[in-house]
């Protein structure tokens, strides 16, 4: 979920205060409904009693209608019978969908300036849609960068999709570190463009508020990049005054959506006691508690546990009622396979290391659902600038390099057809490359790519011999597949070690 409240703010020029309050309180009702299976059950039997129990301020005349629909489906489905929905749900749905449209628009328009980086990221986005599925990919900002201001995380969630180790070190806002940080941000703005900084975030396998100086780093970011960074925290109750002050700071500086990770139902009770619906207007909740209608990603520590205990997956699929038909067909793969949000550079400021990463469906090779395309360390900002340019030079070809072996992505299955070939994967997505006039040419190109034993140049030469097709045409065809993210770009296993 992204940006919904900024869309709300956009609308708020025409809205009355009472409309915004209604929206905030509907959001709170929705949070309870989504997080709490007991509430959902009681709501079906006794809606008035259920909302009274939690002092939820929704219009009771609308409850019967809420009981008839699946709220998550209503929010996410493109089409629905709007005239039958209560105004509060309609407003919430419009804000949600505006926000999703805004995210999709911005992630393409606020792209890196460097054409190689831009083309590389577009390919990773195309790949993600077919590899991890559009439901998950639609939610990913494909941030061009993110930063860790610590090593490890103090929270230690059993399901951690990024397998964060225990908290070890912090990057504190000392004079020296602050200078390095601001210089690093200058380099990243140069590379990514300030606008794409809107989706940069200052955490990953870390908890932002573990760092006592987190706010200082955010303010530096605001001054250098021009945006107040969005934040997800799993410890909003550790120091509510600090969180409240942070939310106010974000409000003043035009910050985007913030998120609270809800780890238990008790935690949601306490969050709702501590923060008013209005205070949380810009905060989206990510429900990781038992009983939430919100699937965990089959990555990192969740995946480790599920491999030992398959019932973990079964239980999670049970939280996925609206997709149960799809779940039957795809099986556990219906669960999100990654929480990685970056198609770009991930910097750890403690270790002064940078990785080029992109989201993928977690597997044995990439158990946290993140491909590490390259990694390096840097001494200072100038060194970082050089390192980034080397990575771009080595990793981000705009067209397929003639000397590189060409093969399909590992998750794609190849099949020849009478008029070409077809690629399919675990999500039952199928892509046909078919043309009756060029059937035998297409079948041979497909077979050669599937064998993975020839470079692009060797392939073009062979097809000149066998089908009298000019190498430039074969290269053009290979480049189309390359742009669509269908060819393997993972580093070889020796490169990634
Ligand atoms: S899920 Fe987030 S809060 Fe929990 S251990 Fe991982 S990084 Fe920390």
Same domain for 89 and 8, yes or no, is: yes
Residue whose token pair is 């390259």: 374
Question: Are the beta carbons of 355 and 148 closer than 8 angstroms?
Answer: no
DSSP string, 222-279: HHHHSSPPP-EES-TTTSHHHHHHHHHHHHHTT---EEEEE-SHHHHHHHHHHS-TTT
Ligand 1 near 140 CB (within 6 A): no
Q: Pick the residue with more confidence: 139 or 428?
A: 139
pTM more than 0.85: yes
pLDDT tens-place string over residues 276-299: 999 999 999 999 998 898 889 999
Q: What percent of the chain clears pLDDT 70, i.e. is strictly above it?
A: 93
Query: To test the ligand 1 pocket, which listed residue (160, 267, 368) has its Cβ within 8 A of the most ligand atoms?
Result: 160
Same domain for 122 and 251, yes or no, is: yes
Closest by CA to 422, choosing from 396, 455, 449, 458, is: 449
Ligand 1 near 291 CB (within 6 A): no
Answer yes or no: is 495 within a domain: no
The per-type count for the chain, helices as H runs and strands as E runs, is 20, 12
Residue whose token pair is 């080397």: 390
Ligand 1 near 234 CB (within 6 A): yes
Same domain for 94 and 123, yes or no, is: no
Answer yes or no: is 154 within a domain: yes
Is residue 496 scored above 60 in pLDDT?
A: no
CATH code for the domain of 382: 3.20.20
Same domain for 54 and 74, yes or no, is: yes
Is residue 170 scored above 80 in pLDDT?
A: yes
Answer yes or no: is 175 within a domain: yes
pLDDT (average), residues 31-40: 94
Whole-angstrom Cα distance, residue 352 to residue 383?
11
Answer yes or no: is 181 within a domain: yes
pLDDT band at 2 (very low <50, low <70, confident <90, very high): very low
Same domain for 201 and 254, yes or no, is: yes
Same domain for 437 and 341, yes or no, is: no
pLDDT (average), residues 377-392: 98
Q: Measured in angstroms, how far is the CA atom of residue 163 from the centroid of ligand 1?
A: 8
In sequence order, the β-bridge partners of residue 261 are: 286
Question: What is the side-by-side strand order in the sheet with 353-359?
Answer: 143-148, 342-348, 353-359, 370-377
Query: To test the ligand 1 pocket, which listed residue (146, 153, 267) has its Cβ within 8 A of the most ligand atoms?
Result: 153
Among residues 109, 143, 165, which one ends one of the domains? 109
Among residues 109, 144, 167, which one ends one of the domains? 109
Closest by CA to 35, choosing from 266, 333, 276, is: 266
Among residues 85, 109, 133, which one ends one of the domains? 109
The number of domains in the chain is: 3
Q: For position 297, what pLDDT does the model report?
A: 93
Question: Are the beta carbons of 143 and 341 closer than 8 angstroms?
Answer: yes
Same domain for 215 and 193, yes or no, is: yes
Same domain for 153 and 209, yes or no, is: yes
For 432, the 3-state DSSP assignment is strand
Same domain for 151 and 10, yes or no, is: no
Closest by CA to 486, choosing from 415, 438, 440, 425, is: 425
Is residue 3 scored above 50 in pLDDT?
A: no
Mean pLDDT, the chain, integer: 91
Residues ≥6 apart with Cβ < 8 Å to 305: 158, 159, 312
pLDDT tens-place string over residues 442-489: 999 999 999 999 999 999 999 999 999 999 999 999 999 999 999 999
Closest by CA to 367, choosing from 128, 204, 164, is: 164
Same domain for 344 and 377, yes or no, is: yes
Whole-angstrom Cα distance, residue 424 to residue 441?
20
Query: To test the ligand 1 pocket, which listed residue (150, 151, 152, 155) has its Cβ within 8 A of the most ligand atoms?
Result: 155
Q: Measured in angstroms, how far is the CA atom of residue 155 from the centroid of ligand 1?
A: 6
Answer yes or no: is 33 within a domain: yes
| Percent helix / strand / coil, the chain, rounded to 5 | 50, 15, 35
Eight-class DSSP state of 491? P
Q: Measured in angstroms, how far is the CA atom of residue 126 from the centroid of ligand 1?
A: 28
pLDDT tens-place string over residues 237-273: 999 999 999 999 999 998 878 999 999 999 999 999 9
Same domain for 375 and 432, yes or no, is: no
Q: Measured in angstroms, how far is the CA atom of residue 340 from the centroid of ligand 1?
A: 13
Tell me the residue range of the domain where 325 lies: 114-394
Answer yes or no: is 29 within a domain: yes
Same domain for 103 and 248, yes or no, is: no
Is residue 493 scored above 90 in pLDDT?
A: no
Structure tokens at 223: 């001054």
Question: Element (H or E) spanning 123, and its range?
Answer: helix 115-132
């Amino acid at each position: 979920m992204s940006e919904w409240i900024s869309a709300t703010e956009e609308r708020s020029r025409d809205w009355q205060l009472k409309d915004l309050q209604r929206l905030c309180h509907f959001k709170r009702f929705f949070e309870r409904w989504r997080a709490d299976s007991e509430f959902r059950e009681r709501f079906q039997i006794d809606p008035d009693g259920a909302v009274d129990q939690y002092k939820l301020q929704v219009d009771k005349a609308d409850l019967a209608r809420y009981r008839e629909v699946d709220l998550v489906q209503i929010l996410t489905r493109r089409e629905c019978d709007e005239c039958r929905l209560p105004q509060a749900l309609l407003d919430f749905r419009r804000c949600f969908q505006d926000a999703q449209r805004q995210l999709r628009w911005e992630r393409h328009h606020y792209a890196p300036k460097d054409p190689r980086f831009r083309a590389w990221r577009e390919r990773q986005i195309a790949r993600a849609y077919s590899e991890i599925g559009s439901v998950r990919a639609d939610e990913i900002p494909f941030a061009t960068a993110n930063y860790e201001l610590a090593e490890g995380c103090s929270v230690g969630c059993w399901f951690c999709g990024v397998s964060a180790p225990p908290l070890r070190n912090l990057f504190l806002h000392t004079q020296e570190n602050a200078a390095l940080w601001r210089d690093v941000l200058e380099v990243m703005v140069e590379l990514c463009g300030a606008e794409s900084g809107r989706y940069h975030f200052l955490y990953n396998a870390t908890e932002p508020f573990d760092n006592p100086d987190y706010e200082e780093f955010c303010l530096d970011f605001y001054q250098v990049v021009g945006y107040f960074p969005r934040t997800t925290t799993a410890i909003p109750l550790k120091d509510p005054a600090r969180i409240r002050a942070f939310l106010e700071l974000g409000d003043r500086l035009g910050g985007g959506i913030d998120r609270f990770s809800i780890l238990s139902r008790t935690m949601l009770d306490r969050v709702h006691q501590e923060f008013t619906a209005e205070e949380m207007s810009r905060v989206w909740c990510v429900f990781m508690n038992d009983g939430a209608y919100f699937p965990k990603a089959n990555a990192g520590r969740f995946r480790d546990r599920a491999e030992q205990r398959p019932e973990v997956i079964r239980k999670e699929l049970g939280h996925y009622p609206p997709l149960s038909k799809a779940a039957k067909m795809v099986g556990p793969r219906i669960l999100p396979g990654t929480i990685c949000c970056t198609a770009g550079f991930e910097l750890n400021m403690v270790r002064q290391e940078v990785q080029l990463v992109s989201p993928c469906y977690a597997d044995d090779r990439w158990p946290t659902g993140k491909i590490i395309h390259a990694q390096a360390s840097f001494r200072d900002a100038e060194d970082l600038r050089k390192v980034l340019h080397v990575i771009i030079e080595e990793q981000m070809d705009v067209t397929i390099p003639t000397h590189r072996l060409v093969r399909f992505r590992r998750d794609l299955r190849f099949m020849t057809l009478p008029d070409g070939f077809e690629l399919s994967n675990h999500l039952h997505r199928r892509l046909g490359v078919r043309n009756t006039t060029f059937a035998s040419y297409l079948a041979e190109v497909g077979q050669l790519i599937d064998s993975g034993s020839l470079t692009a140049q060797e392939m073009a030469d062979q097809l000149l011999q066998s089908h009298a097709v000019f190498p430039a045409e074969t290269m053009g065809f290979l480049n189309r597949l390359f742009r669509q993210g269908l060819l393997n770009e993972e580093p070889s296993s020796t490169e990634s070690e």
